[in-house]
Amino acid sequence: MVTTPHGAVRGRYEQGIAVFRGIPYAAPPFGPRRFRPPEPPEPWDGIRDAGAFGPTAPKPPYSEAFAQYLSDPVIPGDDCLNLNVWTPEPGPSARLPVLVWLHGGALTRGSSAVPVYDGRTFARDGVVCVSVNYRLGVEGYGLFPDAPPNPGLRDQLAALRWVHQNIAAFGGDPGNVTLCGQSAGAISAGALIAAPQTQGLIRRAVLQSGPPEVSERDKVRRMVRRMATRLRIPATAEAFATVDRDLLLRTQAEVGRLSSPVLGGPSFGIVVDGDLVPRDPLQALIDGEAAQGVDLLLGWTRDEYRLWLVPGGLLERVDRLGPVALAGAMARCHVGHEVPRGYRTLHPDAGIAEIVGQMVTDHLLRIPLHRLADARPGTSYLYEFAWPSRLPGLAACHALELGFVFDTGDVPESARLAGEGAPPELCTTMHAAWVRFAATGDPGWQAWDASHPVRIFDEGVPHTAYGPRDPELDLWSTAPTVPDPTPASDARAPGAELASAVRRLRRSVGARRR
């Protein structure tokens, strides 16, 4: 039993680890609190049972094509702003390092209840692990004229504050907190380490397959407006709050059907709000205006794009689209023919889908992470996860590294992506690097400098490569930037041809998804 300012909670010992699940860090975000910033939870009398995961945030299910690879449990209930704690030694005397986990899922899916994210392995190795649920989709990232932006990100800030105030009672050191996230969780972590309100709450950060970034406000507004049009309501928080929750989720899923990292399109995202996100977090971090003294562990998987394109046979379809797909990628990345030509020279045997996928991955992920590391040498560490899945076509795809980071490669949900026979020694090695980073700030390889050291996790013993992505990334430094694709209404304007290619690509891929 542990006492918090809101009441006592009782956890369970599981294999020698004390586990507390479903602890509320904020009040249920519904009723008058809907679309509003989080508020403290109501205190409770007696001892609250913390033996089971709490409710997950409202979210649509993954499509059938993605559900075969990704686990996403749904736990009903309104009290979805909750977190879980795994600790080897409850009590204020332990002062152990703390890792706070933010799940991915494009800010529309995912939860802390995914079995791959079992924090027992971190606690086993001396790190208190906290995993967090936060609002998703239109509930957490809709942009309305009558509600504050970024409530989902504000949920995460509330969870960090809860950790700072309470984690000592669970055996953690509030002065040694590592914020760790993957994909949308990494994007969130990047925004949070740049936020003025988190000063003193975060000592280190791990950004897996997601850079600090913000979305264009118009892009998020289009998502809300399209939902409003389908629902035949005004695009306001007040109107959205009257819609049946299941209908809202179905509408969100339908409107977002053609959005993806490769295709672009309207989507939910973190926006500059003048408060929690006062400016672009990547630029704030590069300029040295934020997160001074925060160590960074940054990385990606070798073949990120394959999770976006393999489900449903989209990889083969993009290959067949040929020039249309390539033009769409050029528009997505705002570059001309020079960049894809350079990729073709570097990778003469690659198909169109591979070139498109690697171009978009470099544009969205590797280039910004390199820029961030260049601005913070000596305190940044980079890695690439290159071990290929045993499943056909996935290779070293997005999210494949999660079972290795958590050392949960033996759970069935990890096998959905990795297949059977994932090497346990690689799980042990990669997990140990994350444990070491959370404890000391040094994962065990050379910090970033002018030689561009990148730790490669693959078959056999991990090794350090120097500038393994430099030939591709150098192509972008000399290529002229192409303006954003022009809206369809002006077919003669510069960029209209590329915009048309993007629309054709989305329609073609969307037809296959249906």
| Furthest C-alpha separation in the chain | 70
First to last CA, the chain: 50
Of 6, 370, 398, 452, which is the active-site residue? Answer: 398
Is 318:260 a contact under the CB 8 Å cutoff? no
Catalytic annotation present for 477: no
Q: Which residues neighbour 32 within 8 Å (Cβ) at sequence distance 6 or greater? A: none
Residue type, 457: F
Q: At what angle do helices 184-193 and 151-166 cross, to 10 degrees?
A: 70
Report the alpha-carbon distance of residue 514 to residue 510 in Å, rounded.
6
Residue type, 115: P
Q: Is the dihedral of CA 209, 129, 412, 53 positive or negative?
A: negative
User: Of 154, 204, 160, 105, which is closest to residue 402 (Cα–Cα)?
Assistant: 105
Report the alpha-carbon distance of residue 146 to residue 161 in Å, rounded.
26
Of 103, 111, 304, 452, which is the active-site residue? Answer: 304
Catalytic annotation present for 304: yes
Of 112, 183, 209, 215, which is the active-site residue? Answer: 183
Is 61:67 a contact under the CB 8 Å cutoff? yes
Catalytic annotation present for 183: yes
User: Of 121, 157, 172, 175, which is closest to residue 402 (Cα–Cα)?
Assistant: 121
Q: Between β-strands 463-466 and 453-457, what pairing exists: parallel, antiparallel or unpaired?
A: antiparallel
Report the alpha-carbon distance of residue 319 to residue 262 in Å, rounded.
13
Is 286:380 a contact under the CB 8 Å cutoff? no
Copy the structure tokens of residue 196: 């003025």
Helices (H), 39-146: 64-67, 120-124, 137-141
Rama region for 182: left / alpha / beta (φ>0; ψ in -120 to 50; rest): beta
User: Of 342, 313, 337, which is closest to residue 326 (Cα–Cα)?
Assistant: 337
Catalytic residues: 183, 304, 398
